[in-house]
A and B are shown apart, each in its own frame.
Chain A
Amino acid sequence: MSVIFNLFNSIAFERTASKIVETFFDSIVASVVKALYRSSGESLQSITRLTHLPSKQVLQALVSLIQHNLASFEYTPQRQVHYRLNKANIFYLLRKNKYIHHVREKLGVAAELVVERVLEEGSITASQVIVCTTCKLLMTDLSSAVDRANQNPGDRHIIVRDALRQLIELGYLERCASPSSPAPPCCPLLVKPSSDDKHRFLPDDHLNLQLIAQAVTENVETSSSSSGAILPDASSFPDGKIYWRLNYDAFHLQWRDTLLVTSVEKNVGAEVGLVFRGLLQVAYSTVEDKWQSGVYTTAAHVKHALNSAPHLEHCLQLLGEGESGGCVRRIGVGGGGGEYQIEVAQLVAHITAEFLAKRIKEMFGSKAARVFRLVMRNHIVSADMIASACLLDKKEADQVSNMLFLNQILLVHDLRKASMPSSHTPELLFFKVNFLEVVRLTASQCFTELYNLLRKRELLTEKNRSLMEKKTRVDAIVDNIVKSGATQEQIQDIEEMLTDAERTAVTKWLKQQDQILTVVSGITDDIFLFELFSRYYCHVDDLSVGRSAA
């Protein structure tokens, strides 16, 4: 299989990408994204020509994109700079809250705030992020959540530093290029980090804690709680040239493992899921690239590492028998008990096939899913066979297969026609499934739906803008008079500036926004599965995808 399958290279993602950028940045950056989308590299002049924008604005947009790792640049042999989009990273903007939530669950509030700040800035120095996060902690009531019993509240920047160090050590943050001249960063003059190992960690000699504490005090005094902490100048700290950004791969690897383990857990129970997770961890210790599909580990190693797991033998036997979607294989039974091979690609293909079957079931009914699984399992199926193999009425089977064909899920397999057509030769119709195409099609539908939802949200935001501004104004006034000790009557008077109808409209809009964002977040999960499939599909031959589906 040598077909290149990049999920984010589709035409369907084009308008979604520019809409996402418009939502998180502005329309100028979105136009630059639109201009860059279809090309493999554009110069500043050609982007300016395509967008009809002044070159200064285009340059600023490119700075924002590069800073957030949404675009990259390279020098051509003619020493020209060409800019290119990092399309996947544009999509990851929609997962912003998921990254933040993941870190909060794993490492607590301080780490969450650090990640939030890093995502906000795109790339940032350690000192800058410590100052901003500490200020936020001091200015909001979140500080109580990170205060340790024996910790001096004045040492909160130490807590933030520790959280940052932890994030770097666990690989959630990575070194990135830094602007060669300080503020304002002038792209494309960036200095790429060296591959030296020491830059993967946060060395203490790069942080001047005294300077940081001083910057925090100054920042708290100058900034208000509503505007948030002001980003200090990077050059005023010793680590002014060491920039950090989010490493999406670290998150995605953990999400992949969770997805695989959950699938095994739901199929054969929690105990087996636990052993499978252990098996993955043991296998990781033997490989450098944790993303690779076929990872091996010896049975002796597994038994030693997981000896406390209950019913280990049972779980290993079940995993080896194909209950894991055929992804764990036991190879050899030598003196040490042989080896275990984990074929992640196989399980990903199995989960994807089940996901697609579920979608077909929900959309066209269980009989359609049955036909889909049959064709997947048998590779090519004659139209006459569908009715008998799926226990369907002939007419119904024809209807279902026709419906799947019209929706591009089933394809008609072309047969070479007889050189001498005769009435005795029956007309045979065969169906097949191009699994890759079905995944591509579903992903395109996901992108279309994302675009529609983001567009709808934008329209509703515009419609409710004046109302929301009024509500914000009223809330601000109420806050101020509460602080100045106003009576209940005075507060009520101010609150009544918003009528009941307006309040209902605000509540409704907030609810609608939640509804849209919940689905958007869910669709990013669906896309994540397709991302995994696109990463691994070349390790899976079509036949095994079919088998795993049934």
Chain B
Amino acid sequence: MQDDAASTSQTPSVYGSSYSEEEKRILALCEQFKQGITVSVIENDMPHLTKQMVVDALNKLLAKNKLQLLSKQDGSLLYKLKDPVLLHKLKGANKEEQAVYEIIERSGSFGIWARKIRAESNLHLNVVDRVLKRLESKKLIKSINSVQAPKKKFYLVSSIEPDHSLTGGAFYSDNQFDSNFVEVLMDTCYKYLATKLKSAEAEHGKDGPLTVVNAAKVTSKEMQEYIERVKLAKIALSVQDVEKLLDTLELDGVVRSCSGGYGGKAGGGGVKLWRAVPDCTPTPHLLYAPCGVCPMAHRCCDMGSITPQSCRYLEEWLQ
């Protein structure tokens, strides 16, 4: 990095006369290294400057709101150029707005809620609310209600897509879980696997049960491609989404998963494979008579109001 910095000798002239030569050079270095620069980079680039001069130049740029100060994990300071678009947007914004915006920006795609902003910024809640409203009206931030806590409002930078933990992922629409959509998707997945099993039995029945079982298996990727082909979802489902659907089908007892490649199909270990399994458990005989499903069964005895002799459900069943 230092060599790169040393190689840049040209100072861009985009900055006006209000900037000293040192300041212009520091800004140029920051433009070159988007991830930010340390003091040592500046010192290497301009070895003729004393430490005090570098500090003065940096302080001036910070005061002019051209740089932002970040700290690295090892504790060293990092100087990063502020986004010019953002600077343009935040032009005229007061310090409170800038502080709140920075906190929101730091929270990334997970967002942050007003109380936490208050705790981090040490501002009064009313002030935070006012600032948030102002930032929202400037379209710098957006607010969304989390699916986990629908009453909580989370704020995040308007250009960032919210995390799945906030939106609920592909299975949520308008912050509501779309049960019908999920049912349709699960049904489609199961039907595909069941058809695959049937065709495997028809085509490979003579080749032995292992061939049938292997031919009936489908990878998560294959399933995702199939869902894309049938155009069921308006948004593209990720492989993780499809695996979630198949996992749920496994919990329903109609699909079984196994990992690892087979017969060169999956191409290696660690790939999750799925196949339909027939629902072979017979209905318990306990449920054939009304007593098996009676919610009052625990109160049924020879005496009292609920008895087998006076039970109208038992009578109806025998009719």
B residues near A321, Cβ cutoff 8 Å: 258
Cα distance A394–B151 in the bound complex, in angstroms: 14
In the complex the two chains form, is B210's CB within 8 Å of A456's CB? no
Chain A 244-285 interface 0/1 with B at a Cβ cutoff of 8 Å (1 = within): 000000000000000000010011110110000000000000
Q: In the bound complex, do residue B280 and residue A267 qualify as a contact, i.e. CB atoms below 8 Å apart? A: yes
For B291, list chain A residues within 8 Å (CB): 445, 448-449, 452-453
A314 with B209: CB separation less than 8 A? yes
Tell me whether B244 and A391 are in contact (CB under 8 A): yes
Q: Which residues of A sit under 8 angstroms from B298, Cβ to Cβ?
A: 448
Residue of B nearest to A356 (CB): B284
A453, B179: Cα distance in complex, Å: 40
Which of chain B's residues have a CB closer than 8 A to the CB of A1? none
B165 CB, min distance to chain A CBs, angstroms: 9
Question: Which of the listed residues B250, B285, B286 has the most CB atoms from chain A within 10 Å of its own CB?
Answer: B286
Is B278 on the interface with A (CB-CB < 8 A)? yes
A315, CB-defined interface residue at 8 Å: yes
B208 at the interface (CB under 8 A from A): yes
> Known contacts being A391-B182, A449-B289, is A369 close to B252, with CB within 8 Å?
yes
**Proximity bits, A299-322, B CB within 8 Å = 1, else 0:** 000000000001101110110011
Residue of B nearest to A321 (CB): B258
Give A227 to B51 CA distance when docked, in angstroms. 121
The reply to whether the CB of A357 lies closer than 8 angstroms to some CB of chain B is yes
Contacts known (A311-B209, A366-B252, A370-B252); A453 close to B289, Cβ less than 8 A: yes
Q: Is B248 an interface residue (CB 8 A)?
A: yes
- Specify which chain B residues have a CB less than 8 angstroms from the CB of A512 in the assembled complex: 318
Collect the chain B residues with CB atoms within 8 Å of residue A384's CB.
148
> Are B251 and A370 in touch, CB under 8 angstroms?
yes
Minimum CB–CB distance for A495 against chain B, Å: 27
Scoring B210, B280, B311 by chain A CB atoms within 10 A of each residue's CB, the highest score goes to B210
Do B286 and A445 touch across chains, with their CB atoms under 8 A apart?
yes
State the CA gap A455–B306 with chains docked (Å). 13
Residues of B within 8 A of A393 (CB): 176-177, 179
Given the complex, which residues of A lie within 8 Å of B110, measured CB to CB? Answer: none
Enumerate chain A residues within 8 angstroms of B278, measured Cβ to Cβ: 266-267
Known: A369-B252, A370-B248, A391-B171. Is A525-B285 also a contact (CB below 8 A)? yes
Whether B309 pairs with A317 at a CB distance below 8 angstroms is no
Query: Among residues 420 to 451 in chain A, which have CB atoms less than 8 Å away from a CB atom of chain B?
Result: 442, 445-446, 448-449, 451
Interface hits, A478-513 → B, CB 8 Å: 512
Q: How far is the CA of A512 from the CA of B284 in the complex (A)?
A: 20
The residue of chain B having its C-beta at the shortest distance from the C-beta of A372 within the complex is B251
Contacting pair A522 B171 (CB below 8 A): no
Name B284-309 residues within 8 Å CB distance of A: 284-289, 291-293, 297-298, 300, 302, 308-309
Is the beta-carbon distance between B318 and A456 smaller than 8 angstroms?
A: yes
B251 touches A523 (CB 8 A): no
**A359 at interface (Cβ–Cβ under 8 A)?**
yes
Residue B144 is within 8 A (CB to CB) of chain A in the complex: no
Answer yes or no: A362 CB below 8 A from chain B CBs.
yes
Residues on B with beta carbons closer than 8 Å to the beta carbon of A394:
147, 177
Q: Check A358 for interface membership: any CB of B closer than 8 A.
A: yes
Cβ of A323 within 8 Å of any chain B Cβ, yes or no, is yes
Instruction: Give B115-132 as 1s and 0s: 1 = Cβ < 8 Å from A's Cβ atoms.
Output: 000000000000000000
Give A313 to B210 CA distance when docked, in angstroms.
9
A355 touches B284 (CB 8 A): yes
B309: chain A residues within 8 A (beta carbon): 455-456, 459
Chain A interface mostly: helix
Q: Closest B-chain residue to A351, C-beta based? A: B281
Cβ–Cβ contact A318 & B244, under 8 A: no
The CA-CA distance from A224 to B314 in the complex, in Å, is: 40
- Other-chain contact of B287, A323, A357, A362, A460 (Cβ < 8 Å): A362
For the complex, what is the distance from the CA of A360 to the CA of B248, rounded to whole Å? 16
In the complex, chain A residues whose CB is within 8 Å of the CB of B297: 445, 448-449
Give which listed residue, B211, B285, B289, contacts A314 with CB less than 8 A: B211
Q: How far is the CB of A137 from chain B (nearest CB, A)?
A: 34
Is A363 in the interface zone, CB < 8 Å from B? yes
- Say yes or no: is B245 at the interface (Cβ < 8 Å to chain A): yes
Docked complex Cα distance between A394 and B182 (Å):
14
Q: B209–A315 contact, CB under 8 A?
A: yes
Chain B residue contacts of A15, Cβ below 8 A: 302
Q: Which of B258, B281, B292 contacts A355 (CB 8 A)?
A: B281
Given A370-B251, A394-B177, A515-B318: A448 in contact with B209 (beta carbons within 8 A): no
Q: Which residues of A are found within 8 Å of B213, using beta-carbon distances?
A: 268, 318, 323
Is B157 an interface residue when CB atoms closer than 8 A count as contact?
Answer: no
Partner of A456, one of B182, B280, B284, B308: B308
With A272-B209, A525-B285 as known contacts, state yes or no: A452 contacts B314, CB within 8 Å. yes
Distance in angstroms from A109 CB to nearest chain B CB is 28
Kindly state whether residue A209 has any CB partner on chain B within 8 Å: no
Give chain B residues whose Cβ lies under 8 Å from the Cβ of A445.
286, 291-292, 297
**How many angstroms between the C-alpha atoms of A374 and B297 in the bound complex?**
27
A28 at the interface (CB under 8 A from B): no
- Asked whether any CB of chain A lies closer than 8 Å to the CB of B52, the reply is no
Contacts beyond the supplied A366-B252, A455-B309: 5 A-B pairs with Cβ under 8 Å: A357-B281, A389-B248, A392-B177, A448-B291, A512-B318
Closest 4 CB pairs between A and B?
A522-B285, A266-B280, A311-B208, A314-B210
The contact sample of 23 A-B pairs, CB cut-off 8 A, is A267-B278, A268-B209, A269-B209, A272-B209, A311-B209, A314-B208, A354-B253, A355-B281, A359-B286, A362-B283, A362-B284, A369-B253, A370-B248, A391-B171, A391-B186, A445-B291, A445-B297, A449-B291, A453-B291, A456-B308, A456-B309, A526-B285, A550-B251
